[in-house]
A and B are shown apart, each in its own frame.
Chain A
Amino acid sequence: GNSVTQMEGPVTLSEEAFLTINCTYTATGYPSLFWYVQYPGEGLQLLLKATKADDKGSNKGFEATYRKETTSFHLEKGSVQVSDSAVYFCALSDSGNQFYFGTGTSLTVIP
């Protein structure tokens, strides 16, 4: 079946630190992979996506590369800001009709 395993949180970093949030997946077929972000009081927002192996999704300084050989889609950012404080969800979809999410990783960035 399909599932996503995501790095446990919470994660606390100082401003300008390097961020990695690990995500691995199990899937039948060839899924698309996503990172969603949830800011306090808001909905889940699509941060980036990759639809096939070796694709790199990027947005707002965040990047993730679809690695089929390691079944991973780790989220990275070179220099985090206080405004990046949020909960980050890794997800996959293999049909467009249903998403499978990880548990979410809470990130707090301190000045």
Chain B
Amino acid sequence: EPEVTQTPSHQVTQMGQEVILRCVPISNHLYFYWYRQILGQKVEFLVSFYNNEISEKSEIFDDQFSVERPDGSNFTLKIRSTKLEDSAMYFCASSPYLTESTYNEQFFGPGTRLTVL
């Protein structure tokens, strides 16, 4: 069964460094998302991406964050200058073309745990 994959599973970085988290969505999906979960807190929406542009973003997704679909398979989240508070689990998700039957279905990857020291 197709699945969303994410790499790396765990990333450790120093404060101020740039990190890129990678995701490979399910191959025929059109909508892509990033979420994060700070330890002990809720899973929070960051951004959604469709047709090579951001379609929606949350207040968390400030200028330090960017997303890109550099080729036909990868979907990346870049944090330009990491802060301690960026330490969290980051989940990527994807959705197929949204029809009446697939409406609201998002398929999630296993997550990347980011630790900022």
| A51:B104 contact, CB within 8 angstroms | yes
| Chain B window 1-28, contacts with chain A (Cβ cutoff 8 Å), 1 for yes, 0 for no | 0011010000000000000000000000
| A99:B91 contact, CB within 8 angstroms | no
| A96:B104 contact, CB within 8 angstroms | yes
The answer for the CA separation of A41 and B55 in the assembled complex, in Å, is: 30
Decide: A93 near B111, CB < 8 A? Known: A44-B91, A99-B35, A100-B45.
no
The answer for the CA separation of A44 and B91 in the assembled complex, in Å, is: 9
| A97:B56 contact, CB within 8 angstroms | yes
Asked whether any CB of chain B lies closer than 8 Å to the CB of A101, the reply is: yes
| A32:B104 contact, CB within 8 angstroms | yes
| A44:B104 contact, CB within 8 angstroms | no
| A103:B42 contact, CB within 8 angstroms | yes
The interface size of chain B toward A, counting residues with CB under 8 Å, comes to 30
Compute the total of residue contacts between A and B using a CB distance below 8 Å.
60
Tell me the residues in window 53-111 of chain A with beta carbons closer than 8 Å to chain B beta carbons: 89, 91, 93, 96-104
The answer for the CA separation of A45 and B108 in the assembled complex, in Å, is: 7
Q: What chain A residues lie within 8 Å of B43 (beta carbons)?
A: 44, 89, 91, 99, 101, 104
* Chain A residue at minimal CB-CB distance from B98: A96
Question: In whole Å, how far is A87's beta carbon from the nearest beta carbon of chain B?
Answer: 10
Question: In whole Å, how far is A92's beta carbon from the nearest beta carbon of chain B?
Answer: 10
**A and B contact pairs by CB, cutoff 8 A, 10 listed:** A36-B108, A46-B106, A49-B104, A91-B43, A97-B48, A97-B56, A98-B45, A98-B58, A102-B42, A104-B43
